Amino acid sequence: MDIDDILREVDPQTHHTPRQTRDLQALTRRWVAERSAPELLPWPSDGLFERVNDQIKAQIEKIEDMTGDMDPKTNFALIVIQTELERYKFLVRSHLRARIAKVNTRPVHPPPPFQNTIQLSNWPGPPELQIDKHTLHYLSTEELRGRLSSTELAYATRHQALLHNHYLSSFLGSFPEKLQNLNDTAGNISMVDAPDLDAAVFVRMLRDMDVHARGTDRDNTLPTANGDVVIMRWSSARPLVLAMDAELV
């Protein structure tokens, strides 16, 4: 059974399974969705990650208690619990890394002085400079800030402040004051880089319905059934995903 089978069989509205199992299923769904969406999805407000962290702590304490028991009959149970713990930790870490990756772009690798003709993309040296990409975008409005957890918001705010101060001391300080802003919108052109909302995503329908999608040449309406997998622009898929009419795959 692969991840698609697990996600497909789970009813997001069911309350007949244990809370711990439902939390794991919800975490898996959010992990898949976050890795597939081109923009940050809202941070869960139902306490999912708090419960998952409590479960991880409880499992660690249980493992520590069982480690002192060298009875061969309990060794296999210990291995199973450790494996389950690592699965939880992987999902949490991968989910958080996917979100952080949407705030910052990849580090730039400057070429050495003696190879000033080498292209940046081909230089294999260690990262020396982290360039901001979407931090200003997610800090620009209350709605976008609301998608971040309190820890993510503190990180993004501090990151942007450090970056702006670095730019000021490096080169922006020598510019006229009106040219020192990083969020200028002069000429109706915004300096704030935003995610590509027209990026293509795959979604699986969770109920029968007509899907309205925007295309390059014309818009289209497609009848879909529960379980159908459709590729469309994220701008068209986002309302379906947030309404739980579809899920990212």
Measured CA distances, 163 to 129, 148, 158, 183, 238 (Å):
10, 19, 9, 13, 31
Single-letter residue type at 1: M
Assess whether pLDDT exceeds 80 at residue 209: yes
Average the pLDDT over 83-100 and give the result.
94
pLDDT of residue 228: 96
CATH 3.40.5.60 boundaries in the chain: 196-249
CATH 1.20.58.1030 boundaries in the chain: 13-103
Band of residue 224 on the pLDDT scale cut at 50, 70, 90: very high
Contact in structure between 120 and 138 (CB atoms under 8 Å): no
Q: Tokens representing 157?
A: 């705010």
Average the pLDDT over 119-126 and give the result.
39
- Protein fold of 196-249: Ribosomal Protein L9; domain 1 (3.40.5)
Least confidently predicted of 40-49, 65-74, 176-185: 65-74
Average pLDDT for the chain: 81
What does residue 52 show for φ and ψ, rounded to 5 degrees? -65, -40
Q: Tokens representing 55?
A: 């479960």
The set of residues, in sequence order, having a beta carbon less than 8 Å from that of 225 and lying 6+ positions away, is 205, 208
Q: Give the SS3 label for residue 53.
A: helix
**pTM of the entire predicted model:** 0.76
pLDDT of residue 5: 57
The string of pLDDT tens digits covering residues 166-183 is 888 888 888 887 777 777
CATH 1.20.58.1030 fits 13-103, yes or no: yes
Whole-number Å distance between alpha carbons of 32 and 25: 11
